[in-house]
Amino acid sequence: MKNKLINSKILSYLILGFFTCIFLFVRSFMGMYLFNYRIGELGVLFCLILTGFYILFIHRKKLLGNSVDLVYLLIIFSFFLILIISNSNIFDTYTFKSSSYIWTISFIFVGIYIYKNVNFDEISLNVFRLLLPIIYCLLVITPPFIKEALMNFFGDYSDKFELHKGSDLLIIFVIVMMLNNEKLNKNRFGHYYFVTISGLFIPLLMFKSRAAFISVVAYFIIEVLRNKKNLFSNRKQILTLFLLFTLFFGFSVSFISNSQTLDKDDSIVGLASIVEFRYQSYNEQNEGLPIFFVRDNRLYSADGNLNWRLQIWQDVWHDLSNSGKSILFGYGYKNKIPAMDIEERQGIDLKNENVHNNFVNIFARGGLIQLFLFLSFYYFIVSTYKNKYGNYSILIYILPILFCAFFDAAMENAHFPLLYYFFLGRLYIKEY
């Protein structure tokens, strides 16, 4: 019994350390090399092995419920079917890189196991609470010497130095607030934390990413409405929370607008700003047009950033429709998606291969069949949850993240889906 407790404690600390590194350094940490492989690659490999265990042993326990387990098995089966149809090489590492969105689903079982067997929540909440203001400072008020030290460190030990994108901030914010808000009815500190940190991060996300900003505002409003009894228990608390939010929101807007950290380096600005710059002339040419318009049987947007994405998504559809490739089964996994062969879509370093839409990526790789299976996966998770508890509160976690992933390459990385599925598993089994 004692050994079990010790092992459980060690495991909880290891997991906490792993997520702390992801929270603080996101893509840069996952790009660090360990045994000549990047940590992100090892993470996907672990998920691949875990998928094998699921097929052999786990699915019999019906941890996700009959319908969800069946659909997940069908998703795995669809990979092998598409592998054969597209003549992809199962021994090619690119095959598993391009299909990582399938294997990372299995991290949901890590979340389930940890919640059932390890006292992770209690030790993680305070650490995660502390990390959010640290991340904010890292992005907004980082002294030049610290930034230089980080760039040098990750330049030596990682394949890339990149601080938090909007999607990274969104999922970290939602995870921490999800854990924090479970304690709102127990102490007032949770109330003040929720309001003050929201006041800091909402302006930051407004600057970083419109999709992430919309998602976090929607999440914030819903959580306020859900927890209004705890948050607004008396007039004094209402006034205090309102003043705190206003103060920190104003402070954040002022600080960000005067910050020299956020706009100096392309590795920090990210692809979205590069695209904005590249399509600035397009915006000027189409000034006065509606946000969406049709020309030559194609949908365009007067917003250059959004238009860049729209053209990629439409190219995927038109190419699969007209090139002899199957809409039902997609391109498969052996090559880069053809729409990304166009130079102007590859980013400033000409290395971008992502279509910046989780669902379009699934459609491109696995066709309508795999897209239908993924949508079914979410449908049955939500419906199983609803049948058990009579509400759809799990959507408060799922929808903001998937909305952001609709306009972002988040799910095509390693760290984002690992975080997403781990805490989805925790939330699902906690209630289910």
Q: What is the pLDDT along the chain (432 residues), one digit of tens a residue?
A: 555 555 667 877 888 899 999 999 999 999 999 988 999 999 999 999 999 998 888 777 778 888 999 999 999 999 999 999 988 888 888 898 899 999 999 999 999 988 888 777 777 888 999 999 999 999 988 888 888 899 999 989 998 888 899 999 999 999 999 988 877 766 778 889 999 999 999 999 988 888 999 999 999 999 999 888 888 878 888 899 999 999 999 999 988 887 655 543 333 333 344 334 344 444 455 556 677 788 878 888 887 788 888 888 998 998 898 866 688 999 999 888 888 887 666 666 656 778 889 999 999 999 999 999 999 999 999 999 998 888 899 999 999 999 999 998 899 888 999 999 999 999 888 765
Q: What is residue 14's predicted lDDT score, i.e. its pLDDT?
A: 87
Contact 103, 79 (CB under 8 A): no
Q: Please give the share of the chain, as a percent, with pLDDT higher than 90.
A: 48
The span from the CA of 12 to the CA of 164, in Å, is 25
The span from the CA of 171 to the CA of 402, in Å, is 10
CA dihedral 103, 107, 110, 111 (to 10 degrees): -160
Q: What is residue 339's predicted lDDT score, i.e. its pLDDT?
A: 82
Chain CA centroid to CA 175, Å: 11
Nearest 5°: the CA angle 34, 37, 42 is 90
**The total number of structural domains that make up the chain:** 1
Q: What is residue 343's predicted lDDT score, i.e. its pLDDT?
A: 67
Q: What is residue 275's predicted lDDT score, i.e. its pLDDT?
A: 37
Q: What is residue 233's predicted lDDT score, i.e. its pLDDT?
A: 79
- Tell me the per-residue pLDDT of 11-40, one tens digit each, with 9 for 90 and over: 778 888 999 999 999 999 999 999 889 999
The span from the CA of 305 to the CA of 342, in Å, is 16
Closest Cα to residue 142, out of 262, 49, 230?
Answer: 262
The span from the CA of 134 to the CA of 127, in Å, is 11
Q: Which domain holds residue 373?
A: 2-431
Query: Nearest 5°: phi and psi at 347?
Result: 80, 175
- Tell me the per-residue pLDDT of 239-269, one tens digit each, with 9 for 90 and over: 999 999 999 999 999 888 876 555 433 333 3
Handedness of CA 224, 230, 232, 237 (dihedral sign): negative
Query: Nearest 5°: phi and psi at 259?
Result: -75, 140
DSSP for 411-427, written as a single string: GGSSHHHHHHHHHHHHH
Q: What is residue 186's predicted lDDT score, i.e. its pLDDT?
A: 67
Q: What is residue 193's predicted lDDT score, i.e. its pLDDT?
A: 93
Q: What would the two tokens of residue 112 be?
A: 């389930």
Residue 301 CB coordination number (10 Å): 21
Q: What is residue 406's predicted lDDT score, i.e. its pLDDT?
A: 94
The span from the CA of 80 to the CA of 329, in Å, is 11
The span from the CA of 246 to the CA of 347, in Å, is 37
